[in-house]
Amino acid sequence: MMKAVFLDSLSLGDDVDLTPLTGDGNDWTLYPSAGKDEVAERIAGADIVVANKAPLDRDVLAAADALKLICVPATGVNNVDLQAADEAGIAVCNCTAYGTAAVSQHVFALMLSLATKLPQYSAAVARGDWARSKAFCLMDYPIMELQGKTLGIVGYGELGRAVAGLAKAFGMQVLISERPGADSVREGRLLLQDMLPRCDVLSLHLPLNEHSRNLIGAAELQLLPDHALLINCARGGIVDETALAAALRDGVIGGAGVDVLSEEPPRNGNPLLSDDIPNLIVTPHSAWASREARQRIVQIVAGHISHFCKGGTPDAINLKGSA
């Protein structure tokens, strides 16, 4: 029996079944959440730690002398000092492919909402504009068909491929950007700066790292056509949020849908939360959060732990969006 701690179980919601974890024969302690100053004390003596967003930095890991395995119930592992974990001989596992259906669905929900001006028309009906209309319908906001349009994808891993498949079902042409920081351009890929002018829609599906931070800034937004839509369901820091807010206000691009911000939750505000930005939809990092996807995460983490407890080597960290 090993001592196991889940530092932030509430991050998976209160409607998932955690018994695949807690019923594995280990000694489990579940915390709904854990602040930075609480982590070290709560994982003292633990063999296994599950941490979604709770920070596991070098100092915390150095003090966790019993720790053998960290499981991150998400794809991104920005909350873990991976170098420190490696130096301490602590295995780290993440979860992939759990939210492919949910996230790709959300990408198209944002894309379709922007293309059809769904928020504007819904608001117009609520204001009574339709009831006062002299015609049988409202056509105040231009609608864009996705069929025949070009979708550019940055990050062609599990999610990028799923979004590409949906795009083709809508009759869209798909272009794929080469990985940021790559030394060469593979066949079938384009340099980002060459792809952007050809995009009617740009969708991001890559992890946040030294190559992708602020990848889409003012210069990149200027390269997009003025009707283009930007969709970001990856990580907030990939887009320069101040530049995006300015681009939307100035009509540099046609619209944006984002599910992620550089600080989450945005307790200190954010340039994209201003109420004067046109054609912007912000959702609260909820693209991944279908109940089905969250339950898959529990199963994946339970599988990692079971494999480890039987003497197996945990799967290496896999950031699917980086392909």
Phi, psi dihedral angles at 48 (to 5 degrees): -130, 135
Quick one: pLDDT at residue 1?
A: 86
Confidence of residue 316 (pLDDT cuts 50, 70, 90): low
Find the catalytic residue in 106, 205, 235, 294. Answer: 235
Over range 61-69, report the average pLDDT: 95
Are the folds of 3-98+291-322 and 100-282 the same? Answer: yes
Question: Catalytic annotation on 227?
Answer: no
pLDDT in tens, 168-211: 999 999 999 999 888 899 999 999 999 999 999 999 999 888 99
Apex 305 CA angle, 300 and 308, nearest 5: 125
Assigned token pair, 65: 């002398």
Over range 293-318, report the average pLDDT: 88
Over range 81-103, report the average pLDDT: 95
Find the catalytic residue in 38, 145, 264, 292. Answer: 264
In percent, the amount of the chain with pLDDT more than 90 equals 91
Rounded to a whole number of angstroms, the distance between the first and last alpha carbons of the chain is: 38
Confidence of residue 319 (pLDDT cuts 50, 70, 90): low
Over range 59-63, report the average pLDDT: 95
Fold (CATH) for 100-282: Rossmann fold (3.40.50)
Find the catalytic residue in 189, 213, 285, 307. Answer: 285
Assigned token pair, 187: 């066949």
Over range 120-137, report the average pLDDT: 98
Assigned token pair, 237: 């820091």
Domain ranges, ordered by start, for the chain: 3-98+291-322, 100-282
Please tell me the CATH superfamily of domain 3-98+291-322, with its number.
Answer: NAD(P)-binding Rossmann-like Domain (3.40.50.720)
* 52 Cβ contact list (under 8 Å, min separation 6): 7, 8, 11, 12, 72, 73, 74, 79
Contact 90, 70 (CB under 8 A): yes
Question: Catalytic annotation on 285?
Answer: yes
